[in-house]
Homo-oligomer: A and B are copies of this chain.
Amino acid sequence: MDPFALDRSSPVPLYFQIAEQYEQAIVDGRLRPGDRLETEVALARQLGLSRPTVRQAIQLLVDKGLLVRKRGVGTQVVHAQVRRALELTSLFDDLSRAGQAPRTQILGLRRVSAEPAQAQPLQVAPGEPIWLLERLRLVGDEPLAVLRNCLRTGLVDLEAFDLERQGLYGSLRRAGISMSVARQRVGARRASPAEAALLSEDPGAPLLTMERTAYDNAGRVVEFGQHVYRPDLYSFETTLVQR
């Protein structure tokens, strides 16, 4: 490993700068699966930092599934091909980063009265107005997913944003709304006739489903989504870490 370049005047925390450089080294192949890192104490001495700061950096990468630690032994790069972990982002971000040129087609955006099935996850009273957004996601010319989202009104005026270009999460970020936590459930079912038509699939074809409820950093529900994906074009990848 090359020496680190730390910028103490940067607003980026030191532990994050360290973690970024290690992550890059792993992705680049400068650190290979099974390689041992230097000990936390040695690293702290070399970098002129305290051990807790170095430890915080390593912990970040352990949580991402890139490193494994063993007491009395040391810290090693995990023996796995590194792929991007599932993060709290939208499908739009996922595909943009994969360079696949996603497009979005708005099928409908309107204010409706919340039905009980929508009101409950959004934690509003039934009959209250909510945003209902339906979109078709395409990658190239292939339809990929049908996205259906419910949002509380009052948070943001969705019609003011270019949802086709920025995606929903990008628009929310621009409005100053940042997601903090999300719960999601992934399942499967047959395509309805309408979904099959939109996705160029046979009726009854298997679809991957995802339901997600997202919360801001005040713990309030921001968004509830029910999405269906073509399983030949999309799947969900997660890294699980024992804590």
Which residues of A are in contact with B by a Cβ distance under 8 Å?
Answer: 33-34, 52, 60, 63, 65, 68-70, 73, 76-80, 83, 86-88, 123, 178-190, 204-208, 213, 215-221, 231, 234-243
Q: Which residues of B contact A205 (CB under 8 A)?
A: 190, 206
Interchain residue pairs with CB less than 8 A apart (19): A63-B243, A68-B218, A69-B217, A78-B215, A79-B219, A88-B241, A180-B241, A181-B241, A181-B242, A184-B238, A184-B240, A185-B237, A186-B208, A186-B238, A188-B207, A190-B205, A204-B204, A206-B207, A238-B238
Q: In the complex, are the beta carbons of A78 and B181 less than 8 A apart?
A: yes
The one of B52, B80, B185 in contact with A235, judged by C-beta atoms closer than 8 angstroms, is B185
Q: In the complex, are the beta carbons of A182 and B240 less than 8 A apart?
A: yes
Q: Which residues of B contact A33 (CB under 8 A)?
A: 219
Task: State A243–B88 Cα separation when bound (angstroms).
Answer: 9
Q: A86-B240, A206-B188 are in contact. Are A219 and B34 (CB under 8 A)?
A: yes
